[in-house]
Amino acid sequence: MEECCEVVVTAAEADWLAGYTRTLVEERLAACGHQVAAIRSVYRWEGAVHDEPEARVALHTRRSLVPAIVARTAQLHPYDVPCVIALPLVGGNPDYLRWVVGETREPEL
């Protein structure tokens, strides 16, 4: 079976992130997204330290779709440099992982 991963994406607005997640699920780039509506991000940007509220989503998908998710996020996301990171899954419920593969599309070559 194809390997799966979790892709984490953050954004300033929870509502925007929910719509983004729905778009990726509708386009079969992700099987689902588990969103946390309120997180706090502390980061350095353009020489200054920022402390801002954000939202976070964990998308479950095929590892082979990560490049397409990065590209689609670049098109949709309001940030200049959005956080999009893929985390490997080292195991899990085989039925769930089959479901993730079944609900996502084959990568375009």
With respect to residue 21, please indicate whether it lies within any of the assigned structural domains. Answer: yes
Joined together, the tokens standing for residue 4 give: 């799966």
Question: Is 78 part of a structural domain of the chain?
Answer: yes
Q: Is residue 108 part of a domain?
A: no
Q: Domain containing 73: what range? A: 4-102
Give tens-digit pLDDT for 56-102.
999 999 999 999 999 999 999 999 999 999 999 999 999 999 999 99
Total residue count of the chain as it appears in this document: 109
The contacts found for 71-77 with CB under 8 angstroms, 24 or more apart, are: 72/23, 72/24, 72/27, 72/29, 73/9, 73/20, 76/20, 76/23, 77/9, 77/11, 77/20
72, two tokens: 């689609």
Task: Say what angle helices 66-76 and 14-26 make with each other, to 10 degrees.
Answer: 130
Residue 97 included in any domain: yes
Assign 1 a pLDDT band (cuts: 50, 70, 90). Answer: confident
pTM of the complete model: 0.95
What is the pLDDT averaged over residues 35-47?
Answer: 97
Distance separating alpha carbons of residues 6 and 58, to the nearest angstrom: 6
Reported as a pLDDT band with limits 50, 70 and 90, residue 108 is confident
The answer to the question of residue 82 being in a domain is yes
pLDDT of residue 60: 98
The CATH number of whichever domain residue 18 belongs to comes to 3.30.70.120
When divided into structural domains, the chain yields a total of: 1
